[in-house]
Structure 1
Amino acid sequence: MELDIVALSRLQFALTALYHFLFVPLTLGLSILVAIMETVYVMTGRPIWRQMTKFWGVLFGINFAIGVSTGIVMEFQFGMNWSYYSHYVGDVFGAPLAIEGLMAFFLEATFVGLFFFGWDRLSRVGHLTVTWLMALGTNFSALWILIANGWMQNPAGAVFNPETMRMEVSSFYDVLMNPVAQAKFVHTVSAGYVCGAIFVLGVSAWYVLKGRHLELAKRSMTVAASFGLAASLSVVVLGDESGYLTSEHQKMKLAAIEAMWRTEPPPASFTIVGFPDQAARETHYAIHIPWVMGLIGTRSLDTPIMGINELTQRAEGFIRKGVIAYDALQKIRGLPRGSAIPEDLRKTFEENGKDLGYALLLKRYVDDPRQATPEQILRAANDTVPMVAPIFWLFRIMVGCGLIFIALTAVFFVQSARRRLEGPRWLLWLAVLAIPLPWIAIEAGWMVAELGRQPWVIEGVLPTALAVSSLGAHTVLMTIIGFTALYLVLIVIEMKLMLRAIRKGPEPDHDPEAALVPAALAPAE
């Protein structure tokens, strides 16, 4: 069987990205929860809150360490497996990643060290400041990475230079303030907060079921339920914003999420369930809710959402304009070095250059896109349709999990207000069983975002098939096997360390500053 270097490179990056993203959400969520707990400790002086901060901080530290080691591998892959991508857009894509490393990661790593080793060396307020800076660094790290990823979804603030054959930054402000990147950041970070809250809630519920560490468990459940409910509701609101931006910048992705093959009269309906058939371009046994998709996707009653068939026809027009741009580009490259570009040639390229990427889709079928036949143009246009069925179902898995999180945290919030966190037992077991669900939802959402972007590595600019390195397929296959084996070892280590820490529970803790407080002034337990 012939091995496909593009498919193998995509598989390798997907495996490493999905694996790395097992650790990121919990890091984001626990960092804020730990900071909240320590804030309560500093405000009240109660030792139990210091003990809670240190216990959940240990679990944060284990997760953080494994997450860092897996994240480094991903950045190396841009140079190893996606060298043409790195050459083509490195001036734009590299800047946020460099800032993330120089500012966010070093900030985060520095304060993580101070958090663990500064308990008896810093004052209460000083250590609290360190904890919040650690949480801030964690979120800053996510910000810069998602700015880079958001630019891949909506390449704002950059232009193609026909002389250097590279994308170059035209406005770094537009790169930073890219609406897709900002929406992805707040949505992803909120999902991480939900992950941390459900994790704390589930582990605490397990302690209550076992009758262990009840003081710590009940307080942790109160914090997790309140924080988790707010985060779960924000995910819905921010997800709505992300969906609205998708309708503006990634129409094909939105149509695939809905399995909307034909443009419907506005406002479009939302498909609850169905069975998309990509070959027939039909969704069988679909159940619809009228108007909902139109309201979510366009926030209006009279704006249509384009269907896949119409978007494919539109892509044909983009490809034909891209071929004109490709022809002008080849003529520009054929000019003697140092000579001025004729005005008519420059104008032709500027008018059609934004569709150059669509002409590059033809490279799968013909070396020179200018020689493409109408049949090849049609095939390239059909390539702009991603795999609809996986995207359709993954999105609904994500949404279904989100509704569960809202219900679960709301129930525990009420239970906390009523001071009835000891039961019922079935509810506590439900919280324990819900622990894996945030990861399922987050991984499903990540796959929706990335599968929905195909066949582009940079939306409308660079096809995935042209972005890979010139490596032997067997070389990539061997590295996939090696990475998979290594990651299996790391996940086993992670799980053993986390489970051991949870089974052991919090360490007895002594606050050295408490000895300085007169007994009559010490807060009541």
Structure 2
Amino acid sequence: MIDFTVVDLSRLQFAATAMYHFLFVPLTLGLSFLMAIMESVYVMTRREIWRRMTLFWGTLFGINFALGVATGIVMEFQFGMNWSYYSHYVGDIFGAPLAIEGLMAFFLEATFIGIFFFGWDRLSKVGHLAVTWLVALGANFSALWILIANGWMQNPVGSTFNPDTMRMEITDFAAVIFNPVAQAKFVHTVSAGYVTGSMFVMAISAWFLLRGRHLDLAKRSMAVAASFGLASALSVVVLGDESGYVATEHQQMKIAAMESMWETEPAPAGLNVFAIPGVRENSYEVKIPYVLGLITTRSLSTEVPGILPLVERAEVRIRNGMTAYAALDQIRADRNNAAARQTFADTWHDLGYALLLKRYVDDVPAATDEQIEKAAWDTVPDVPTLFWSFRFMVAIGIYLIVFFAVAFYLASRHRLGENRVLLWIALFSLPLPWVAIEFGWLVAEYGRQPWVVEGVLPTFYAASGLTLVDLAISLGFFLTVYTTLAVIMVLLMLKIIKAGPSERNVLIDGIRGSAVVPERAAAAPQR
């Protein structure tokens, strides 16, 4: 039988790695485009202040990028170390986007980021601007291919199970690339990254203004960040709505759990603004009529199924999957069994549901009604966690729209740097985009449990056969190293921020051993 302590520790280790890694990714996405915008203004106006802005924010981008690489590479190795059966079962499909991301996007970004820092005096202004935009595009291409891979896990299109190799294999790579779930997740995720970068620039610039330092740079940076942040925050809402619409088509249990909706309501369904989720029903709830149905189905007549009907549907699919499992056993015993192959071809889409029974019984076709019912209930993720995580994410998103709208209005009136209340709000709002993003990933990933690949492979079935000691040691090691790296990143960023912008490339000066503080650099004797 499967050791679920090992499975839970494997999940915890990957979750910790992923959530640490995603502390750096959004800021990389946001700062890369803000840098490109600032350097574009520099090339058009030839005003030196915009070059200094690009260098300053680019230095902070470089530190963050390095930490993102360090944490992201380990994640990819974990697919082979902690999730070896997952890699065997779906590696032909999942591995392709990851390989393309490394060859096409990561190498592009990593190459041009070096030219960005070392090429200021070696390239023309237009040439260096092109490099900066390639860095930004590389970061977004990297996110695209990662999210194509993740989107396939949420909606496994363009693939089929091969009974001869006992693996999922790709049948339509275009369907994998243009998977609607992947496309919706990509635009929603990168927009959230743009909001994060904008808030980071707003907060640091607000700190400069509150201290009366680097006023020209801070005011211009805040004006750019306010405009870009407002557009991005509005995009997050619009594109998040698209994600919800796509999830209603492909991940109905996730939507029902997010809304703590146990029974199917007459269309259009109402939205739970507040609820106390219980077991099989809510203890208390406050609804806005029709809103959920309109958002998730964009119609007045389409129902949004509740948790209990979806559990009944899962039970039917489990029984159908048991037929597929039995036919697969017959094919393995006799590869020329045409009747078994036909039966399997008709039922293989539910094979993953039959694998849920492995939690309770080794001989799947011999499962009892009670075991089938338990497996069907396993398709329900933790309702309170999803319900509140989603609402915290949405609440922060609404707050950020209001914040950036006010900031944009003040910036358009050239009064942004004078409003000390808003400056303090900006400074203390710095962590909010990260909080919202982590809640969003919790909804996306925890919401598809018990599946590592939706409807195809249960999470517990995908883990490697590691020991408890192996996982405990590696988990402790990862947490220690990642926490240390996060602290180092914060300290380095604080050092750069306290030093302030310079006429020189402060990151390259630091690599060469030069002083990063402008005043010290000016006071140094000439050689």
Equivalent residue number for residue 441 of structure 1: 436
Equivalent residue number for residue 327 of structure 1: 326
The number of equivalent residue pairs is 503
Any idea what SS the aligned residue of 2:263 has? coil
Q: Offset of 1:498 from its aligned partner?
A: 0.9
Q: Offset of 1:509 from its aligned partner?
A: 4.5
Structure 1 consecutive aligned stretches of length 4 or more whose deviation exceeds 3 Å:
none
CA distance in 1, matches of 2:504, 2:329: 71
Any idea what SS the aligned residue of 1:146 has? helix
Equivalent residue number for residue 489 of structure 2: 494
Any idea what SS the aligned residue of 2:145 has? helix
Equivalent residue number for residue 239 of structure 2: 238
Q: Is the 8 A contact 1:268 1:290 kept in 2?
A: yes
Equivalent residue number for residue 361 of structure 2: 366
Equivalent residue number for residue 462 of structure 1: 457
What TM-score does the superposition give when structure 1 sets the normalisation length?
0.95
Q: 2:425 pairs with 427, 430, 435, which one?
A: 430
Q: Offset of 1:348 from its aligned partner?
A: 1.0
Task: List alignment gaps of at least 5 residues for structure 1.
Answer: 511-525
Any idea what SS the aligned residue of 1:287 has? strand
Equivalent residue number for residue 45 of structure 2: 44
Q: Is the 8 A contact 1:357 1:463 kept in 2?
A: yes
Equivalent residue number for residue 513 of structure 1: none
Q: 1:340 pairs with 336, 342, 345, which one?
A: 336
State the AA in 2 paired with 1:74. M
Any idea what SS the aligned residue of 1:392 has? helix
Equivalent residue number for residue 521 of structure 1: none
Q: Offset of 1:3 from its aligned partner?
A: 7.2
Equivalent residue number for residue 14 of structure 2: 13
Deviations 1:182-230 (A, max 9, x none): 0000000000000000110111111111111010000000000000000
Q: Offset of 1:43 from its aligned partner?
A: 0.4
CA distance in 2, matches of 1:398, 1:34: 27
State the AA in 2 paired with 1:86. S
CA distance in 2, matches of 1:212, 1:129: 31
Q: CA RMSD in A?
A: 1.0
Task: List alignment gaps of at least 5 residues for structure 2.
Answer: 506-527
State the AA in 2 paired with 1:454. Q
Deviations 1:232-286 (A, max 9, x none): 0011110000000000000000001100011111111111121212xx2222321
CA distance in 1, matches of 2:33, 2:43: 15
CA distance in 2, matches of 1:19, 1:273: 30
Find out whether 1:293 has 2:298 as its counterpart.
Answer: no
Equivalent residue number for residue 70 of structure 1: 71
Find out whether 1:415 has 2:413 as its counterpart.
Answer: no
CA distance in 2, matches of 1:509, 1:361: 60
Q: Is the 8 A contact 2:393 2:436 kept in 1?
A: yes
Q: Is the 8 A contact 1:24 1:67 kept in 2?
A: yes
State the AA in 1 paired with 2:432. L
Q: Is the 8 A contact 1:246 1:254 kept in 2?
A: yes
CA distance in 1, matches of 2:284, 2:314: 29
Equivalent residue number for residue 111 of structure 1: 112
CA distance in 2, matches of 1:193, 1:427: 20
Deviations 1:34-56 (A, max 9, x none): 00000000000000000000000
CA distance in 2, matches of 1:334, 1:507: 72
State the AA in 2 paired with 1:467. A
Any idea what SS the aligned residue of 2:286 has? strand
Any idea what SS the aligned residue of 2:168 has? strand
Equivalent residue number for residue 248 of structure 2: 247
State the AA in 1 paired with 2:336. A
State the AA in 2 paired with 1:181. A
CA distance in 2, matches of 1:42, 1:509: 17
CA distance in 2, matches of 1:381, 1:239: 29
Deviations 1:344-375 (A, max 9, x none): 32221111110000000000100011010000
Q: Is the 8 A contact 1:3 1:473 kept in 2?
A: no
Deviations 1:3-25 (A, max 9, x none): 71110000000000000000000
Q: Is the 8 A contact 2:4 2:460 kept in 1?
A: no
CA distance in 2, matches of 1:109, 1:452: 33
Q: Offset of 1:84 from its aligned partner?
A: 0.2
CA distance in 1, matches of 2:498, 2:284: 47
CA distance in 2, matches of 1:501, 1:406: 29
Q: Is the 8 A contact 1:3 1:474 kept in 2?
A: no
Find out whether 1:482 has 2:481 as its counterpart.
Answer: no
Q: 2:395 pairs with 390, 395, 400, which one?
A: 400
Equivalent residue number for residue 223 of structure 1: 224
Q: Is the 8 A contact 1:4 1:473 kept in 2?
A: yes
Any idea what SS the aligned residue of 1:422 has? helix
Any idea what SS the aligned residue of 1:394 has? helix
